Amino acid sequence: MPWNQFENVRPKLNLYDNPNFEPGSGITDRDVLIDCVEKIAEEMNNEPHPIVKAKAIEFVLDNTAIEVNPLDWFGLNYCGWLTWNAAKKIQKRTFMKRPSNVQNESWFAEIEAIPVKKPLEILNRRWFAEIKTTPEYDEAVKDIKETGTGYFGPDYDHSVPDWDSVINLGFKGILERAEKYYQEKKNDGSLTEKQNIYYQSVFITYKAIIRLVCRFLECAKKHEADSKIMPLMIECLEVIANGKPQTLYQFLMIIYIYHLLQENMDIIQVRTLGNLDVDGYPFYKKDIEEGILTSEQTEELFQFFFEKYTNQGHLHAQPLYFGGFNENGDSLINELSYIMLTAYDKSCIVNPKLFIKVMPNTPDTFLKKALEMIRRGRNCIVFINEELGCEISRKLGRTEEETRRLVGTGCNNFASRGKETTPEHMYVNLAKGIELVFTNGKDPLTGAPIGCETGNVSEFENFEDFKNAYIKQTEYLIDKAFIISDFYDSHLSEINPAPMYSGTMPDSVKCGRDAYHDGVTYNNTVMFLSCHATAADSLMMVKKHVYDLRTVSIETLQDALLKNWVGYEELRELMLSDPEKFGNDIDSVDSIAVEMLDHFTTKVTNRKNMRGGHFVVNGESIWFSHIWADKCGATPDGRAKGDLLSKNMSASIGQDRRGITAHIKSVTKIDATKLAYGCPFDYMLHPSAVKGEDGLDAMLGLLRTFMKRGGYGYQGNVQDVATLKDAQLHPEKHQNLQVRISGWSWFFTQMEKNFQDEFIRRAELEERAI
């Protein structure tokens, strides 16, 4: 039997980095494929972009060299698939180097800098360069990244294909569905030229996909005798070439193939592999009943499946999600959910990353299994409040059925299943406005006029004046973000038409419009409002020490900030040690955070975008609390230039002094329904605080309380200082030590020292508190 092989063959599964293409199967040099795509783009210069893209996809899929690894249940690879891991190696970048050193260039400049690209990226770059920017856009983007004010770029990385279509129709069914709508429109005479172009691009793309599957099939047949897996893989590919999956293995295989193609050919990240436990369960159940699989074999099959994503090495990891509820409200956590978790645990990986939907009736045993993994350092797991997700969904106008079947996507947010595109073009630093109030709109470090004029700070009469100036500065930055987002939203389908992704989306294929061009029901655009705690703490310190207690004059504080506290060390100490900070369940400061977020989220969500949808908000900081740290000067909370800004929804580092229960209470005072597209809370717990059965029960209690109080995403670390320090000194002894970074985890020993130090500092503070 082909089982019990995973650990033996594991080192030989990474085809992406070590390809061994089938001789004579096609072009083996990615650069040649790139040249060919460039040539297609040149020759078809006057053709519509969707057709050029589809033709380029067709060329690559028909002509790329392919290979089948007989040791691997999912051992399919083709030339042109540039994984994150491979890209990193080519760029010779140190992974997790301080992001401010590597991520402060624009998105496209970064792509330019990559010596070897995905072939289809050539088209994106070419078409983006063709777009004429507007003076307003040029003005809005000026100095934003350089001053740590925000971050921007046209985003195709946060949408999810309609997995229902992929699973229930297969590639052939998706093609037939598109043909049916095309014929209907043609027959009733309503087909426009644009729709015709759209449908033709879908046809070309899906026919090419089916031919590629057939090529994999023929290749596999050549290796039929090479392993016991091969006859089953041949059967699997035959089914997928001709229709929809019938077994759990085929279900996972079609997901793997589709993911491989959309990310590399459509140049759109697949922001979740889907609700694998729930959607896979009918296949699993049938396989068990028919004696095709045992639960142990299922576990091994998932280890092989997960390994594909581990080997791809996506920097922020590839998500998949667990759970949900049925029409009766019953939890959909099932036997397969447990098997998948066990497989993940055994593999000790951080890619893919796991997202667990939590309802009040999600079984404790399942949550405890995941929490127990986190306690052991297997922490690439986020818990998301599904009840809150449903409330948000209803507010956004989704139907009850759509609400019940929300997709868990990206790091920690929800989207409508198969009916939504969610580009995330803009990140706004909420702490930046504080600096700009003191400098009347000029960036203190570069002198760039990034903000607006709010007057001389020394002329403010009271805190209200200061607060209003801060609001005005931040609103000015948000207005710039609207301009930038609008520009990208207007050109998304020109820069990167999406025939593959759109083909899966029922709304898009029905109306004959690209999913990124109003082709789906929900066309919202996400804006990130990050680092609120640094802003709230700073406002509190100004209120308390400048205007209420008059400990310091505004001029003195202004001078201290401009001098980065040099010569004002005592004042800094006073600000830093003042306990009235967000994260301690102190209403005075928590209410400032609540008020500010309420104000800014209202402004953002009241605004319509350029694709017929609305703006929505995410409160995550991703890793911008690092990236912006060096570009933001000192802030009144005692933070110096270079010190981290606050992360996600949590308190500033070291300011949560009253323990995790107070921290949770502060965070859950914020109305998370207004941060509808995600706002995770990061905790750090000391292992001794949660040891034993009591400790695990307590971890569950914290999670349940967080959810009950309306928190959104819950993720974190259970680490002690000694282990982290030892891992820094002796990485060879701690290869498997994982830490939660933001919406993903990574191996501690592979991170740069400054990143490691952040975790050690957090752990030290936690240790001091117990």
Q: Which residues bind another protein (CB under 8 A)?
A: 573, 577, 585, 658-662, 665, 689-690, 692-695, 697-698, 700-702, 704-705, 708-709
Torsion sign (Cα): 717, 718, 721, 725: negative
Task: Find the shortest distance in angstroms from Cβ 265 to another protein.
Answer: 46
d(CA 68, CA 233): 10
Is there a contact between 738 and 746 (Cβ–Cβ < 8 Å)? Answer: yes
Residues 596/536, Cβ–Cβ less than 8 Å: yes
319 phi/psi in degrees, rounded to 5 = -80, 155
What CA–CA distance (Å, rounded) separates 54 from 48?
10
- Of 443 and 585, nearer to another protein (C-beta) is 585
Of residues 513 and 572, the one with the C-beta less far from another protein: 572
Phi then psi for 522, rounded to 5 degrees? -115, 115
In the DSSP assignment, the letter for residue 66 is E
* Residue 435 and residue 444 in contact, taking contact as beta carbons nearer than 8 Å: yes
In whole angstroms, the minimum distance from the beta carbon of 195 to another protein comes to 53
What tokens were used for 687?
A: 């292992």
596 in Cβ contact with 532 (< 8 Å): yes
Q: In terms of CB distance, is 417 or 658 closer to another protein?
A: 658
For residue 352, is the peptide bond before it cis, meaning its omega torsion is within 30 degrees of 0? Answer: yes
3-state helix, strand, coil in the chain (%, to 5): 55, 10, 40
Main-chain dihedrals φ then ψ at residue 408, nearest 5 degrees: -85, 115
Query: What are the tokens at 535?
Result: 């802003």
658: left (phi over 0), alpha (psi -120 to 50) or beta: alpha
Residue 387 C-beta: closest distance to another protein, Å: 13
Residue 722 Cβ vs another protein, minimum distance, rounded to whole Å? 14
E strand or H helix at 616:
strand 615-618
CB atoms within 10 A of CB 570: 10
Q: Print the SS3 string covering 250-309.
A: HHHHHHHHHHHHHHHHHCCCECCCCCHHHHHHHHHHHHHHCCCCCHHHHHHHHHHHHHHH
Handedness of CA 483, 485, 486, 488 (dihedral sign): positive
Is the Cβ–Cβ distance between 411 and 712 less than 8 Å?
A: no
DSSP string, 346-398: HHT--SSEEEEEE-TTS-HHHHHHHHHHHHTT---EEEEEHHHHHHHHHHTT-
Min separation Cβ 584 and another protein, Å: 11
Nearer to another protein, 291 or 692 (CB): 692
Between 294 and 661, name the residue whose CB sits nearer to another protein: 661
CA 169 to chain centre: 27
Name beta bridge partners: 427.
151, 528
Closer of 115 and 567 to another protein (Cβ): 567
Query: What is the three-class DSSP state of 341?
Result: helix
Neighbouring residues of 178: CB distance < 8 A, sequence distance ≥ 6:
199, 202, 203, 206, 503, 509
Place of tokens 């089938």: 22
Question: Any idea of the CA torsion for 410, 413, 415, 420, to the nearest 10 degrees?
Answer: -50
What are the backbone dihedrals phi and psi of residue 742, each rounded to the nearest 5 degrees, phi first?
-140, -95
What 8-state DSSP symbol labels residue 593?
A: H
Q: What minimum distance in Å lies between the beta carbon of 365 and another protein? A: 15
Q: List b or e across 429-462, with b for residues whose CB sees 16 or more CB atoms inside 10 angstroms.
A: bbbbbbbbbbbbbbbbbeebebbbebeebeebee
Query: How many CA atoms, within 13 angstroms, populate the side-chain half-sphere of residue 492?
Result: 35
The structure tokens listed for 368 are 């405890």
Question: CB-wise, 419 or 665, nearer to another protein?
Answer: 665
Q: Which is nearer to another protein, 277 or 637 (CB)?
A: 637
Q: How far is CA 124 from CA 491, 495, 677, in A?
A: 11, 5, 26
Q: Which is nearer to another protein, 102 or 769 (CB)?
A: 769
Structure letter (DSSP) for residue 420: B
